[in-house]
Each structure stands twice: as C-alpha cells, then as structure tokens.
Chain A
C-alpha cells in the first residue's frame, strides 16, 4: 500500500529540491514556457498554478506569499501585473505539459511546461552557418583531410615515458600471475556442466 507518500523526491535533498522549484518557477514566470523533464514538470505544475491563483488577488499578503517562491522582486511584479490578470476568468488550469519524448543522453522523458495562452512563434531559420571545415573546403576548392596537430617530439616525450614506469607487478600481484599459463584442464567427456572443482 502506498499511502501518504505523495510527491517525488527527484533524488535531491529537500533544500535542493525546493531551491530548484524556486528557480524553475522564476524561469517559468519570466519565459512563459520552460523545458524540463516530465517528472519535474508534473511536480512544478501545482506550485505554479497555486502562485497564479494567489496572484489573482493583489495585496501585500499575496505579494509576500508569491515572493516566498520567487525571490526576484521584478519577477514577482511580473506575476501580478502581466500574468495573473490574463487568467482572472479561468478557474485553474493555467498551465499545460507537452511531452517531447525521450531525451538524448539519459533517455529521460522531456517535457515543456507552458501557460495555456502561450503563443508559439516558429523561429525563422537563418542560412546555415559556415563551419570551419566548410571554409577550408571552399578555400582549397576540394576535399580537405583532417590534419592532426603534431606533438612536440624529442626529449620531452622520452623523459615523460621514463618518469612513469608501470608499477611492478611482482610485489602487488598475486602468486597466480607469476605462474605459467594455467595447467591444461583434463577434458572429461560431456561434463561441461559437470561437478564444480571449486571446494566441493
């Protein structure tokens, strides 16, 4: 039975978790949309919505309650003056979570948390920036092979090799290592899965 165990710990200590939520709320209020993981988005959503609900009724008490989560004053101001008024007629449900699929790197489900009235504007893609390899190709007018930077040769290398000899095996390794290759095991018929030779 899983009772009285609401919420995710997100593998953080309480202070770390709360600080992270605080940062994320600040980002959300400033940018209207944040990308994070699905788990964090799900945890953050009720916090964000509660802040908006509180901010619908302006006043010194409400400002302080919001400021508990959002340490930045200008952001608090923005919550009250730019965000909350947009939602006066909406009884909750100010945000939405979009799933983006597994993230490359750690395969975590990525998600976007945004206000429901967020208007997405597609970015115009500029022409592709010329990479260094492109420039070399254009300059030489053909295929360019990758050239490795030469290492400085001479004394430096040799002394470096001598300075770091491998630790002697004889002192640290076990006695097995000095023995010649293991004695050939006598092959006994079909018993590859037969009785073990280890301490019977």
Chain B
C-alpha cells in the first residue's frame, strides 16, 4: 500500500484551508420592521414581503 512519506506540516494544512472560509449570507434591511433579513426572502421576524404580510411569525 502506498503511504505518505512525510507528515504534512501545520503550514501545509493551513495553506490548504486558506480558501475554505465561509462567507456570511448577504443581509438587507426589512422595510417593515427594519430588522436585518436576507434579500428576496420573507422577513422571518415580521413576516412581511413586498409590503404585505405573508406569513405568521
């Protein structure tokens, strides 16, 4: 069985992970309750979308 010849150093491990960072989801302000919400989605706090109440919260 082929095996790794050398242990990977922390630097190599961390360099590999340099591009693994997650980005936070985009947020916009709810025009109704002014809480942050994700754009193009019903506001989870007040349940409004496009000026109308769409869901119960």
Chain A residues in 8 Å Cβ range of B54: 98, 112, 120
Query: Is A122 an interface position by the 8 A CB rule?
Result: yes
Chain B residues in 8 Å Cβ range of A198: 3
Tell me, in angstroms, the Cα distance from A133 to B44 when the chains sit together.
28
Residues 87-117 of chain A, each 1 if its beta carbon lies under 8 Å from chain B, else 0: 0000000000011110000000000100000
Tell me, in angstroms, the Cα distance from A194 to B1 when the chains sit together.
20
Other A-B pairs beyond A120-B54, A122-B47, A193-B8, 9, CB < 8 Å: A98-B49, A100-B41, A120-B52, A120-B55, A123-B56, A194-B6, A196-B4, A196-B5, A196-B7
Residues 161-200 of chain A, each 1 if its beta carbon lies under 8 Å from chain B, else 0: 0000000000000000000000000000000111110111
Q: Are A195 and B5 in contact (CB under 8 A)?
A: yes
Q: Are A98 and B42 in contact (CB under 8 A)?
A: yes
Query: Is B17 an interface position by the 8 A CB rule?
Result: no
Q: Are A101 and B6 in contact (CB under 8 A)?
A: no
Listed residue (B1, B40, B42, B52) with the most chain A CB atoms within 10 angstroms of its CB: B42
Query: Is B53 an interface position by the 8 A CB rule?
Result: yes
Tell me, in angstroms, the Cα distance from A193 to B11 when the chains sit together.
11
Q: How far is the CB of A50 from chain B (nearest CB, A)?
A: 25
Tell me, in angstroms, the Cα distance from A193 to B5 when the chains sit together.
9
Q: Are B38 and A101 in contact (CB under 8 A)?
A: yes
Q: Are B8 and A101 in contact (CB under 8 A)?
A: no
Q: Are B8 and A99 in contact (CB under 8 A)?
A: no
Q: How far is the CB of A20 from chain B (nearest CB, A)?
A: 23
Query: Is B23 an interface position by the 8 A CB rule?
Result: no
Tell me, in angstroms, the Cα distance from A155 to B37 when the chains sit together.
59
Tell me, in angstroms, the Cα distance from A100 to B45 when the chains sit together.
11
Give me 8 A-to-B residue pairs in the complex whose CB atoms sit less than 8 angstroms apart, sorted by A's number. Answer: A98-B41, A98-B49, A98-B54, A99-B42, A100-B44, A101-B41, A120-B54, A198-B3
Tell me, in angstroms, the Cα distance from A100 to B48 when the chains sit together.
11
The residue on B at minimum CB distance from A121 is B53
Tell me, in angstroms, the Cα distance from A195 to B6 when the chains sit together.
5
Tell whether A196 pairs with B42 under 8 Å between CB atoms, given A98-B49, A120-B54. Answer: no
Tell me, in angstroms, the Cα distance from A98 to B50 when the chains sit together.
10
The residue on A at minimum CB distance from B44 is A101
